[in-house]
C-alpha cells in the first residue's frame, strides 16, 4: 500500500533523492508516517528543500482520512495519562520501599483497609479512629475559616469601596500576609491559654488575608457599566448591594474562599502537630512517635484527598453560582 | 409651551480635569427638544456626543450652564430618563426577564402588584420579540438579542425621555437594520421622546426628526441642525431612492467630511 506513494515522494523531494536507496529499502515495510520520518532524517542542507506536505503527493497527505487513524476521545487520553502518572508514582514508591525505610505500597494498602474498616472507634482521648481525627481537623478549619469569612468578606467590601480604608489597610496587609501562620501560634496559646482555640485562631489568621484581598479586588473590578445601570435606575443602596455589588464580586470572593481553604487545610496539620489533642495533624505526629510509618503514609493520602475534595467542591460551587463573570 | 421646549440644554459646557490638566469637551451647547421628537446627535468620534448624552442622563454634571427636563433641572440620573448603553450593559447574573424586571420593579413596585410587574416585564420583552429568550442568561444569546433586551429594559420603564448611546454600533449591518425598523415602530407606538447618539449617517436620517451635527472637539459645540422633512411611517426601501432622503444624507455627509473633515495627523 505504501510502495506507490513512496515512489512519488522520491521524485518530488529533492533531498529524498539522495536518500533514495535507504528509503527504498524500507519502503515496503513502513507506513506513510514512518516514510516521512525517514525522509526527515535525510540530509537537508537548505531550508527551501523542505517541501510542504502537499508536495508529497496525495497519498501521503496527513489530512487524508484514508491514512489517518481514528483518534481516541480526549477524556480517554486524559484518563490514561492520569493512570500512567499514578502508576509511575506507585512504581517509584515501590522502588524506594526496596531500600527498607519506607513500607511498600501493598502493605500500606492492606493497613489502610484495616484502618478504614473501623474509622470511628474511641479508646480514650489519645487513641481514636482516623475518621474522628479528620472530623476534628475539619471542624477546626470550618470554625476558623467561617470566622475569617465573617470578618474578611465585609472588610474586603469596605476596603474595595473606600480608597482611604484601602490605603489604611495596605501596609498592615502587606506586612502580615507573608508571615507564616504558625508564627501566630504562641500568641494564640498565650491569649487563649488552650490548644484548641489557639489552632482555630491560627486558621482564622491565615484564611483572612486571601478573603480580604480577593473581595477588595472584586469590588474594584466591578465594571462602570453595571454601576451606571444602578445609577440610571436610581436603585436603593440595598438593591445596589444585593443585585449588583454582591453578584459582581461573588466570583472573586469565591476565589478568595478557595485559596483560604487550601491554606487553612495546609496549616491545620502543622498546627495540630504542635498543639496535640485530636486531629489529623496530631495523628501523624502520634504515629511518628509510635514509629508506624505506614500510618503516616495513609495520613498523607487522607490529607491530600480531603484537601482535593474541599478545593473541587468550591470550584464546583463557583461554577454553579456565577454567570458570565470570571474572576 | 412645554411641548415646544421639553428638554432644554442651555449653554452647557463640560470640562474634565485629569491629573491637573483641564480638558474642555463641550462648550456652549444650546438645544431644545420637543415632546415626542426624535433627535440624533452625530459627529466624529471624540466630539463629545456621548458626553452630551450622559449630561442629559444625569450621569455627569455640567461645569457650565443648565439642563432642564419639563422645566425641572436635571440633578442626577433617574428612571424617567432611560438609557440604552452602547454595550447593552446587561447584568450577566440575571436572566433577560430578570434584567428587565429589575427596572420595572424600580419604577412601578410602589403602585402595582407582583402580577402586574411580571406582566409589564413580559410585555416589554414581547415588544422586542424576545418572549422565547426570557429565561435565558445574557451569555446565552446573541449580541443583537442582548441589545434588544437593553432596549426592552429602557422601554419597560416608560421613560419620559429615551436616551440611546450608539445603540446599534456593535452590531452587524443586517441586525442593525432590523433593530432600526423595530425601534421606528416602537417609537411610533409609544410616542417617546428620543435622543440618540450615532455615527451612522443613514441611521440618523432614517430615524430622526432632527439631526444635530457636532463640530470636532476639543470644545465641541453644535455645528448645524438639520430638519428631516420625511413623513412617518418611514420605509427603508422607498426612502433609498427618495430625493429628500438623498439630499439629507448628502447634507450630513458634507458636514462631516467637508466642513468638519478630520485633520489627519
| Interface probe with B: pick from A224, A232, A243, A326, most Cβ of B within 10 Å | A232
Tell me what the pLDDT averaged over chain A comes to: 79
3-state SS class at A8: helix
Q: Is residue B264 assigned to a domain?
A: no
This complex has an ipTM of 0.82
Residues B30 and B92 in one domain: no
Residues B64 and B29 in one domain: yes
Please list every residue in chain B whose beta carbon sits closer than 8 Å to the beta carbon of residue A239.
102, 106
pLDDT at B190: 81
Which pTM does this prediction carry? 0.69
Residues B30 and B4 in one domain: yes
- For the cut 70, the answer to whether the pLDDT of residue A24 exceeds it is no
CB contact under 8 A, B102 and A225: no
Q: Which of A54-63, A142-151, A283-292, B155-164 has the lowest mean pLDDT?
A: A54-63
pLDDT at A66: 54
pLDDT, tens digit (0-9, with 9 covering 90-100), for B114-145: 999 999 999 989 888 889 999 999 989 988 89
pLDDT, tens digit (0-9, with 9 covering 90-100), for A58-81: 444 455 555 566 788 899 999 999
Cell readout for A9 is: 515522494
Q: Which residue is listed with cell 508516517?
A: A33
Residues B51 and B151 in one domain: no
pLDDT, tens digit (0-9, with 9 covering 90-100), for B215-254: 987 888 999 999 999 888 888 888 889 999 999 999 999 9
Residues B34 and B149 in one domain: no
Q: Is residue B97 assigned to a domain?
A: yes
The parent domain of residue B92 ranges over 81-158
Residues B89 and B212 in one domain: no
Residues B170 and B146 in one domain: no
B36-51 burial code (b ≥16 CB/10 A, e <16): ebbbbbbbbeebbbbb
Given a contact cutoff of 8 angstroms between Cβ atoms, the answer to whether A144 and A204 are in contact is yes
Q: Which residues contact B148 (CB under 8 A, 6 or more apart)?
A: B128, B129, B130, B179, B182
Q: Is residue B245 assigned to a domain?
A: no
User: Domain tally for chain B?
Assistant: 2
Residues B93 and B212 in one domain: no
Distance CA B229, CA B220 (A): 26
Q: Is residue B180 assigned to a domain?
A: no
Question: A57 or B153, which is more confident?
Answer: B153
Q: Does domain A130-321 have CATH number 1.10.3720.10?
A: yes
B interface residues, A as partner, C-beta within 8 Å: 57-59, 76-79, 81-83, 85, 87, 89, 91-94, 102-103, 106, 137-139, 157
Q: Is residue B133 assigned to a domain?
A: yes
CB contact under 8 A, A228 and B91: no
Q: Is residue B201 assigned to a domain?
A: yes
Q: Distance, in angstroms, between A145 CA and closest chain B CA?
A: 27
**pLDDT band at residue A121 under the 50/70/90 scheme:** confident
Closest CB to A232: pick one of B77, B138, B139: B77
pLDDT at A325: 59
pLDDT at A47: 45
Closest CA to A222 of A247, A259, A255: A247
CATH code, B21:
3.40.50.300
**pLDDT band at residue A203 under the 50/70/90 scheme:** very high
Residues B26 and B49 in one domain: yes
Distance CA A229, CA A235 (A): 9
Residues B112 and B73 in one domain: no
- For the cut 70, the answer to whether the pLDDT of residue A5 exceeds it is no
- For the cut 70, the answer to whether the pLDDT of residue A16 exceeds it is no
Low-confidence ranges of chain B (pLDDT < 50): 1-2, 265
Domain boundaries, chain A: 3-60, 74-102, 130-321
Closest CB to B79: pick one of A228, A234, A250: A234
Distance CA B103, CA B84 (A): 12
Please list every residue in chain B whose beta carbon sits closer than 8 Å to the beta carbon of residue A250.
93
pLDDT at A37: 44
How many Cβ atoms sit within 10 Å of the Cβ of residue B254? 13
Residues B137 and B96 in one domain: yes
Residues B61 and B27 in one domain: yes
Question: CA angle at residue B138 from B136 to B139, to 5 degrees?
Answer: 100
Q: Does B218 sit behind a cis peptide bond, omega within 30 degrees of 0 on the bond before it?
A: yes
Amino acid at each position: 500500500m505504501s510502495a506507490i506513494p513512496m515512489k512519488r515522494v522520491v521524485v518530488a523531494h529533492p533531498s529524498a533523492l539522495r536518500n533514495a536507496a535507504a528509503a527504498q529499502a524500507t519502503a515496503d515495510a513502513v507506513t506513510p508516517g514512518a516514510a516521512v520520518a525517514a525522509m526527515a532524517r535525510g540530509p537537508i542542507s537548505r531550508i527551501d528543500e523542505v517541501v510542504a506536505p502537499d508536495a508529497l503527493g496525495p497519498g501521503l497527505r496527513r489530512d487524508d482520512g484514508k491514512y489517518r487513524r481514528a483518534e481516541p476521545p480526549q477524556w480517554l487520553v486524559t484518563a490514561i495519562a492520569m493512570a500512567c502518572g499514578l502508576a509511575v508514582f506507585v512504581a517509584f514508591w515501590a522502588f524506594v520501599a526496596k531500600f527498607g525505610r519506607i513500607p511498600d505500597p501493598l502493605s500500606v494498602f492492606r493497613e489502610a483497609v484495616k484502618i478504614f474498616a473501623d474509622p470511628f472507634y474511641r479508646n480514650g482521648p489519645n487513641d481514636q479512629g482516623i475518621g474522628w481525627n479528620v472530623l476534628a481537623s475539619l471542624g477546626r478549619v470550618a470554625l476558623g475559616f467561617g470566622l475569617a469569612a465573617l470578618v474578611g468578606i465585609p472588610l474586603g467590601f469596605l476596603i474595595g469601596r473606600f480608597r482611604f480604608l484601602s490605603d489604611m489597610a495596605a501596609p498592615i496587609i502587606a506586612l502580615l500576609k507573608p508571615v507564616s501562620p504558625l508564627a501566630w501560634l504562641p500568641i494564640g496559646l498565650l491569649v487563649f491559654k488552650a490548644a484548641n482555640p489557639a489552632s482555630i485562631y491560627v486558621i482564622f489568621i491565615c484564611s483572612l488575608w486571601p478573603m480580604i484581598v480577593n473581595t477588595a479586588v472584586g469590588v474594584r473590578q466591578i465594571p462602570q457599566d453595571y454601576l451606571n445601570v444602578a445609577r440610571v435606575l436610581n436603585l436603593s443602596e440595598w438593591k445596589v448591594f444585593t443585585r449588583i455589588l454582591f453578584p459582581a464580586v461573588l466570583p472573586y470572593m469565591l476565589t478568595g474562599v478557595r485559596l483560604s481553604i487550601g491554606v487553612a487545610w495546609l496549616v491545620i496539620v502543622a498546627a495540630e502537630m504542635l498543639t496535640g489533642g485530636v486531629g489529623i495533624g496530631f495523628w501523624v505526629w502520634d504515629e511518628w512517635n509510635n514509629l508506624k510509618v505506614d500510618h503516616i503514609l495513609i495520613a498523607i493520602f487522607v490529607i491530600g484527598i480531603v484537601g482535593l475534595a474541599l478545593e473541587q467542591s468550591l470550584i464546583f460551587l463557583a461554577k454553579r453560582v456565577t454567570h458570565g463573570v470570571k474572576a | 409651551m412645554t411641548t415646544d421646549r421639553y428638554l432644554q440644554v442651555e449653554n452647557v459646557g463640560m470640562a474634565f480635569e485629569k491629573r491637573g490638566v483641564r480638558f474642555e469637551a463641550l462648550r456652549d451647547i444650546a438645544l431644545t427638544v420637543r415632546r415626542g421628537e426624535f433627535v440624533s446627535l452625530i459627529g466624529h468620534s471624540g466630539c463629545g456626543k456621548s458626553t452630551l448624552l450622559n449630561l442629559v442622563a444625569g450621569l455627569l454634571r455640567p461645569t457650565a450652564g443648565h439642563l432642564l427636563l419639563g422645566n425641572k433641572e436635571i440633578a442626577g440620573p433617574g428612571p424617567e430618563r432611560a438609557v440604552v448603553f452602547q454595550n447593552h450593559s446587561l447584568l450577566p447574573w440575571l436572566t433577560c426577564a430578570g434584567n428587565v424586571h429589575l427596572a420595572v420593579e424600580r419604577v412601578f413596585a410602589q403602585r402595582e402588584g407582583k402580577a402586574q410587574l411580571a406582566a409589564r416585564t413580559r410585555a416589554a420583552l414581547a415588544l422586542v420579540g424576545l418572549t422565547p429568550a426570557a429565561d435565558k442568561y445574557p451569555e446565552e444569546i446573541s449580541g443583537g438579542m442582548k441589545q434588544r433586551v437593553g432596549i426592552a429594559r429602557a422601554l419597560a420603564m416608560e421613560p419620559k425621555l429615551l436616551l440611546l448611546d450608539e445603540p446599534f454600533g456593535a452590531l452587524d449591518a443586517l441586525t442593525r437594520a432590523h433593530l432600526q425598523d423595530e425601534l421606528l415602530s416602537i417609537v411610533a407606538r409609544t410616542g417617546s421622546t428620543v435622543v440618540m447618539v450615532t455615527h451612522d449617517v443613514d441611521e440618523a436620517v432614517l430615524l430622526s426628526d432632527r439631526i444635530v451635527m457636532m463640530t470636532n472637539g476639543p470644545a465641541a459645540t453644535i455645528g448645524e441642525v438639520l430638519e428631516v422633512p420625511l413623513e412617518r411611517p418611514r420605509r427603508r426601501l422607498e426612502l433609498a431612492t427618495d430625493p429628500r432622503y438623498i439630499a439629507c444624507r448628502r447634507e450630513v455627509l458634507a458636514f462631516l467630511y467637508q466642513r468638519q473633515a478630520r485633520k489627519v495627523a
